[in-house]
């Protein structure tokens, strides 16, 4: 597999093991079938517990049955899952970075004891309710409310484009507190909401043209009563959801490299196997130029991901650096999947080959967890000190 500057030479034994375990799982369980799941618009839910058994959910966290592996190991795992399909990485990323991470970082001991082990084992599924029908790139404008009442809160509102929602047992819903004292009124808080509570609906969004091997839905909240114990006590304001997004974007920066690498390997092998005009098309200069550029761009994306891991391990990673990597690496995967499809010619439009499936998936990944344009503005503000959002 493409590793042109021999980055694997610096991997630890544990990091190699995690990478190899993910590769073996995909080869045994999904490699020959993922295209069919994508066509049918379904996710292999029967594999969720097995993914838990293998430690695919938030393995970079410690305690509560979680191993606390390195950030590089976690990134390698995300890359292998997305080399299979973005839907597979999205499920694991939401479960780990957007649900388990905030419980681990901001939850009470009771919340951690109740949820982290079953989520980590894949015995329970979580989802992250932030995006709303009218508030995507501007989550601080959210309209979902949590009204204080004597015995807790009453939630009203809606969330959309929520990965895992239709199969989730628990939803981490972000809402604006109302009816409280002057200091807390209007503050954004996170609520752990069981999806079987009265007033909760999680309708599936169907007929997607991208990220089809992923279960996506809405969260409807109609006078949903939750107790005080459902609030994440350790965070208030936009710091909560934004810190979760930083964790998820880190995984995306790694994952999309895996998708791009899979496109390259598929195109390279096809170019070697496909005979035209008396020999393999890999001998033509036009095809070699495409493969050379693909390899270069993917290698640069790999280097950026590995550097993020080093910074994250040292506790020095800034959200803006993650924005740069998310912005760049998704763009690389989006562009190189298209070039890979070109090399495959007419055969490239079938589900027998992965590049066009990756290509359509990247249209979603290019948009979610902060659009490409939004990450450009985040970098622009960091570089100039001037916020274009205001």
Question: Chain centroid to CA 117: how far?
Answer: 20
Contact between residue 45 and residue 88 where contact means Cβ atoms under 8 Å apart: no
Question: Chain centroid to CA 24: how far?
Answer: 21
Contact between residue 37 and residue 105 where contact means Cβ atoms under 8 Å apart: no
Task: Give the E-state strand segments of 131-201 in sequence order.
Answer: 145-149, 152-163, 170-178, 188-194, 200-201
First-residue to last-residue Cα distance in the chain: 45
Q: Could you give the maximum distance between any two Cα atoms of the chain, in Å?
A: 80
Contact between residue 88 and residue 213 where contact means Cβ atoms under 8 Å apart: yes
Distance of alpha carbon 126 from alpha carbon 100, whole angstroms: 8
Candidates 117, 289, 369, 390; catalytic one = 369
Query: Using N-to-C axis directions, what is the helix angle for 355-365 and 319-344, rounded to 10°?
Result: 150
Q: Is 36 a catalytic residue?
A: no
Copy the structure tokens of residue 134.
Answer: 């009218």
Contact between residue 20 and residue 280 where contact means Cβ atoms under 8 Å apart: no
Copy the structure tokens of residue 273.
Answer: 């196997």
Copy the structure tokens of residue 181.
Answer: 């004292």
Task: Give the E-state strand segments of 10-75 in sequence order.
Answer: 62-63, 66-67
Tell me the three state secondary structure of residue 365: helix
3 DSSP 8-state letter: -
Active site residue ranges: 369
């Amino acid at each position: 597999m493409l590793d042109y500057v021999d980055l694997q030479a610096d991997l630890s034994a544990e990091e190699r093991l995690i990478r190899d375990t993910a590769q073996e799982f995909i080869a045994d369980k999904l490699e020959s079938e993922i295209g069919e799941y994508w066509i049918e618009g379904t996710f292999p839910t029967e594999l969720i517990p097995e993914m838990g058994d293998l430690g695919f959910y938030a393995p970079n966290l410690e305690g509560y049955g979680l191993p606390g592996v390195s950030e590089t190991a976690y990134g390698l795992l995300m890359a292998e899952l997305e080399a299979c399909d973005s839907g597979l990485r999205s499920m694991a990323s939401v479960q780990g970075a957007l649900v388990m991470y905030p419980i681990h970082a901001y939850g009470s001991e009771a919340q951690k004891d109740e949820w982290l082990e079953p989520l980590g084992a894949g015995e329970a599924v979580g989802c992250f309710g932030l995006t709303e029908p009218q508030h995507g790139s501007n989550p601080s404008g959210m309209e979902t409310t949590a009204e204080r009442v004597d015995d807790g809160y009453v939630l009203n509102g809606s969330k959309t484009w929520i990965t895992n929602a239709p199969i989730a047992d628990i939803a981490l819903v972000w809402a604006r507190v109302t009816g409280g004292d002057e200091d807390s009124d209007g503050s954004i808080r996170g609520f752990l909401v069981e999806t079987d509570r009265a007033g909760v609906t999680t309708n599936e969004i169907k007929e997607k043209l991208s990220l089809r091997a992923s279960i996506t839905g809405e969260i409807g909240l109609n006078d949903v009563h939750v107790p005080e114990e459902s609030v994440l006590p350790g965070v208030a304001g936009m710091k909560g959801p934004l810190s979760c997004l930083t964790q998820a974007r880190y995984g995306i920066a790694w994952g999309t490299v895996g998708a791009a690498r899979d496109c390259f390997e598929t195109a390279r092998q096809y170019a070697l196997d496909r005979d035209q005009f008396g020999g393999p098309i890999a001998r033509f200069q036009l095809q070699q130029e495409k493969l050379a550029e693909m390899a270069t761009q993917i290698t640069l994306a790999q280097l950026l991901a590995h550097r993020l891991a080093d910074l994250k391990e040292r506790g020095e990673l800034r959200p803006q650096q993650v924005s740069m990597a998310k912005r760049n690496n998704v763009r690389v995967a989006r562009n190189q999947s298209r070039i890979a499809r070109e090399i495959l010619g007419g055969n490239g439009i079938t589900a027998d080959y992965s590049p066009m499936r990756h290509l359509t998936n990247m249209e979603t990944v290019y948009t979610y967890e902060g659009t490409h344009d939004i990450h450009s503005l985040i970098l622009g503000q960091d570089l100039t000190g001037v916020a274009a959002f205001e």
